[in-house]
Homo-oligomer: A and B are copies of this chain.
Amino acid sequence: MANRITELFNIKYPIVQAGMVWNSGWRLASASSNSGVLGLIGAGSMHPEVLREHIQKCKKATNNPFGVNVPMLYPSIQEIMDIIVEEGVKVVFTSAGNPKTWTSWLQEKGITVVHVVSSVKFALKAQEAGVDAVVAEGFEAGGHNGRDETTTLTLIPMVKEYIQIPLIAAGGIATGQAMLAAMVLGAEGVQVGSRFVASEESSAHVNFKKLVVDAKEGDTCLTLKELAPVRLMKNKFYNELEELYKTTPTQEKLKVLLGKGRAKKGMFEGDLEEGELEIGQVSGLIHDIKPVAKIVADLLFEFDQAKNKIMEL
């Protein structure tokens, strides 16, 4: 399965484990890297020194390449980037911000830079900023999401028309079939999020993992579009948001209800009622909590099985 993505990251399979807030610590990232895919630590939910600890533990737990996902709106962004350089991380995925700001600074230090986008316009901006690859993430993805609401099925070929650098598909991919579908559409690799939330090594609270496993079609919704669109599991907090929306709330009122720390409360501490539970539509296809090695093996098995089935068409 060698291609531009496996070569770029020096990994065995063109699969990236998404660096998700409150889910992607060193245990998940190192287990992913040890399984032949690219593991990512999610810096978005870590204080700088916590990130340093996770990077150091990850280095001890795997000899394979791993990376860090950095939402660029992070307050201590310079500190985070310095730690990444100091600790010798070789891959950074940036999101939520201008790719021009950090790309060459990181690349000059020998770091491979990938930027996450949700539209053709942002994909072009990322390519112009000189990133090494782009993740194009569709509307079905969990967590923060684009304003165009373009789905993975339509976004991937549209981005592919405009960019020449390697393209990684994200959003709605939890099976080998979806991985093959994404590659049929022009992606050279896939980023998988929700499936890894329900892994043994994810740092998500077990209550949240169980909720993901029980999720059905229609259980998530994109909301908070006035602040930053985010796909959440429908729960008590989500219902309160829906009630508030009926009153045409100001952004301020939305911020008050959102408050602080709801993502941690939900995903990390397991408060399924008050927490903000970021997960993708594909949770409806996830039926078990498995070790990362088994998730990767199953993805590859399903991929081959789907490929063989297609050859019979």
Contact B149 A221 (CB under 8 A): yes
A68 to B173, CA, bound (A): 35
Among B121, B155, B181, contact of A181 (Cβ-Cβ < 8 Å): B181
Which residue of B has the minimal Cβ distance to A247?
Answer: B248
Q: How many residues of A contact B (CB 8 A)?
A: 51
A312 to B175, CA, bound (A): 20
Residues of B within 8 A of A153 (CB): 138, 140, 151-153, 171-173, 178, 181
Contact A150 B217 (CB under 8 A): yes
A246 to B313, CA, bound (A): 50
Residues of B within 8 A of A183 (CB): 310, 313
Which residue of B has the minimal Cβ distance to A307?
Answer: B310
A228 at the B interface (CB under 8 A): no
Contact B248 A218 (CB under 8 A): no
A252 at the B interface (CB under 8 A): no
Contact A217 B119 (CB under 8 A): yes
Contact A218 B121 (CB under 8 A): yes
Q: How many copies make up the complex?
A: 2
**A222 and B149 contact, Cβ closer than 8 Å, known pairs A140-B154, A154-B282, A313-B1:** yes
- Report A199-217 CB contacts with B as 1/0, cut-off 8 Å: 0000000000000000011
A269 to B248, CA, bound (A): 36
Cβ distance A252 to chain B, nearest Cβ, rounded Å: 16
Contact A177 B151 (CB under 8 A): no
A83 at the B interface (CB under 8 A): no
Cβ distance A233 to chain B, nearest Cβ, rounded Å: 13
Contact B185 A177 (CB under 8 A): yes
The 4 A-B pairs of least Cβ separation, nearest first, read A148-B218, A181-B181, A153-B172, A151-B151
Q: Provide 22 A-B residue pairs closer than 8 Å at the C-beta atoms, listed in order of the A residue.
A: A119-B217, A119-B218, A120-B217, A120-B284, A138-B151, A138-B153, A139-B139, A139-B151, A140-B150, A140-B154, A151-B152, A151-B171, A153-B171, A154-B172, A154-B281, A158-B217, A159-B217, A180-B310, A183-B310, A247-B248, A307-B310, A307-B311
Please report A residues at the B interface, Cβ cutoff 8 Å. 1, 119-121, 138-140, 148-155, 157-159, 161, 171-173, 175, 177-178, 180-186, 216-218, 221-222, 246-248, 280-282, 284-285, 306-307, 309-311, 313
